[in-house]
Structure 1
């Protein structure tokens, strides 16, 4: 299993979400999954260690996958 951290830079804060994927999943596939989620929905729930929170996709300015 691999763990990916997705950082969303919003208008006034930075939120992070963790994804645990199979070992054969690469970074580009995670990026495509995140971009599809952003483009298909107006808002979504991001799950992190600090709790769950709603992200409005119109407030996202930058996305980074580590």
Structure 2
């Protein structure tokens, strides 16, 4: 899965998309902590620890 790192200071999350750029899941620093505390391994594919099938919104121009 292609991945874009949202490298904004203070934001700890990444989105994972398919080849058509449809978001398939997000992975947060909180997901990582929960995964590791629950016994997850760092060698596990991120697809097993990410939050799948989220709802996405499209940006729109303000309606004034």
Q: TM over 0.5: same fold?
A: no
Larger Rg: 2
Please state which structure has a larger fraction of its residues in helix: 1
**TM-score, normalization: structure 2?**
0.30
